[in-house]
Amino acid sequence: MERDVNRVTYEEERRTCADAGHPELAATSEEASDNIYHNALKSYDEAARYVDMPNGIYEMLRRCKRELTVNFPVRMDDGSVKVFTGYRVHHNTVRGPSKGGIRYHPAVDLDDVRALAMLMSWKCAVVGIPYGGAKGGVVCDPCEMSERELENLTRRYATEISILMSPEGDIPAPDVNTDDKIMAWIMDTYSMHRGYSVPAVVTGKPISIGGSPGRGEATGRGVMFCVREAMKHLNMPVEGSTAVVQGFGKVGSVVAYLLQSKGIKVIAVSDVKGGIYNPRGIDAYDVVRHVKQTGSIMGYRGCDEMTNEDLLELKCDVLVPAAMENQITVRNAARVKAKVVAEGANGPTSPEADEILLDNGAFIVPDILCNAGGVTVSYFEWVQGLQFFFWSEREINVRLREIMVRSFNDVLRISQQKQVNMRLAALILAIGRVAEATQVRGIYP
Ligand code: NAD
């Protein structure tokens, strides 16, 4: 479908912003590729051209519904009080309560949170689970904070955003630098204010307080299912093929050992400190043990060390960026040699890099499909929490596989029917579902 001429696209808005004196929104292409919000808008504009929806709905889905910024004090161990800034953004709540992780990072800003909230709306719609998109973040460096300071920060931030958070309205989860312990503090803080336990207010909790079996591995497991489907589609033999995984955290470590368990040779992995490489293969399970003992993958025996930049350019069959956004950009995309790029992280590839990878013949499994296993099992956890009725890990993994395999093939079908790449196909599917739900509900009042 042709784009309506009245719609203002990303490129047009950029020019208008420059004219109107908003340099922060008027970034050049190179700068824009470093801003994941600009990238999210650009991808939205491209996909929205294929979705039959009125202009008003197009405009509505292009903006975040609510954006909360909170500045709040935290008592530090030395007795001083430090003020932190946090965010919680709801992009869309038409298909259900908003869902999205909370990130603790020194560089997180409102644009990052907006972009990640928008990606969550599309992700939930791609896999067909009844949620809208949200994201949260606090500007902080958890590595520089004690456990007590982190708990004080978490409990105060949870209180500040509790005007948005609830099992029916907005359900946070872990993201970069947040984990099950932090989710437990959020659940406890919220429950203390209510006067009774409310397990369904967060997902990614410890099992002892209503967490779900399989949630810890779910994102990585979903990535593994997508890699297998992609290889099947491309007629690539699994046995003897090679994989490189960037980021060895909650997502990357699981992807690495699950790919290994399926017969794929993991030849390199990395964390924020750098990468390790062994062309004969690395035992990812053993690296997990090494990380538990030492805090990093570095120093693992029998491997060469390399930078994260070099790691992304290694010759391999499957590359899984599972660290941060904007790792593959115009600066390095031409040197990426992987046949399949499976995006474990959110937004690891800039739109310009996307084109270069596709021109070079890579098959990209886009983030909103590839890493949707996490939110899928979060949904299972939420349902179990609401019902106080728990499923076995086997049931969870079987249902996860069903959803991931079905969603991969839904996206592949659209990509073949419309002759577009997988990212565009996934966005067309997701935006179409959210637009349809919006039109069916109608505009209030
Ligand atoms: P994490 O904090 O557990 O792990 C992040 C890993 O990346 C760590 O090994 C860290 O050392 C490494 N890292 C950080 N900066 C890096 C850099 N510049 N270069 C190389 N490595 C770097 O986080 P996570 O939960 O595994 O999340 C990773 C990505 O996956 C994020 O983009 C996140 O939004 C996305 N994601 C996570 C989930 C989930 O369930 N955890 C779900 C969907 C998407």
Q: How confident is the model at residue 343 (pLDDT cuts 50, 70, 90)?
A: very high
Whose CA is closest to 89, among 109, 70, 114, 106? 114
- Atom 31, ligand 1: which residue's CA is nearest? 345
Structure tokens at 4: 């309506």
pLDDT at 3 over 60: no
- Confirm or reject: Cβ of 217 under 6 Å from ligand 1: no
Q: Which atom of ligand 1 is nearest to the CA of 273?
A: 11
pLDDT at 303 over 50: yes
Out of 135, 205, 250, 339, which one is annotated catalytic? Answer: 135
232 is a catalytic site residue: no
For the sheet with 132-139, list strands across it. 66-75, 81-92, 132-139, 98-105, 170-174
Q: How far apart are CA 322 and CA 342, in angstroms?
A: 9
The answer to whether 81 touches 73, Cβ cutoff 8 Å, is yes
Q: What is the mean pLDDT of residues 29-48?
A: 81
Q: Do you know the residue count of the chain?
A: 445
Q: How far apart are CA 391 and CA 383, in angstroms?
A: 10
pLDDT tens digits, 218-243: 999 999 999 999 999 999 999 889 99
Q: How far apart are CA 163 and CA 172, in angstroms?
A: 13
Separation of 422 CA from ligand 1 center, angstroms? 22
- Confirm or reject: Cβ of 425 under 6 Å from ligand 1: no
User: How much of the chain exceeds pLDDT 70, in percent?
Assistant: 93
The answer to whether 304 touches 276, Cβ cutoff 8 Å, is yes
- Atom 30, ligand 1: which residue's CA is nearest? 345
pLDDT at 24 over 60: no
* Residue of 175, 292, 300 best suited for mutating to test ligand 1, as the one with most atoms within 8 Å of CB: 175
Q: How confident is the model at residue 12 (pLDDT cuts 50, 70, 90)?
A: low
- Confirm or reject: Cβ of 255 under 6 Å from ligand 1: no
pLDDT at residue number 33: 58
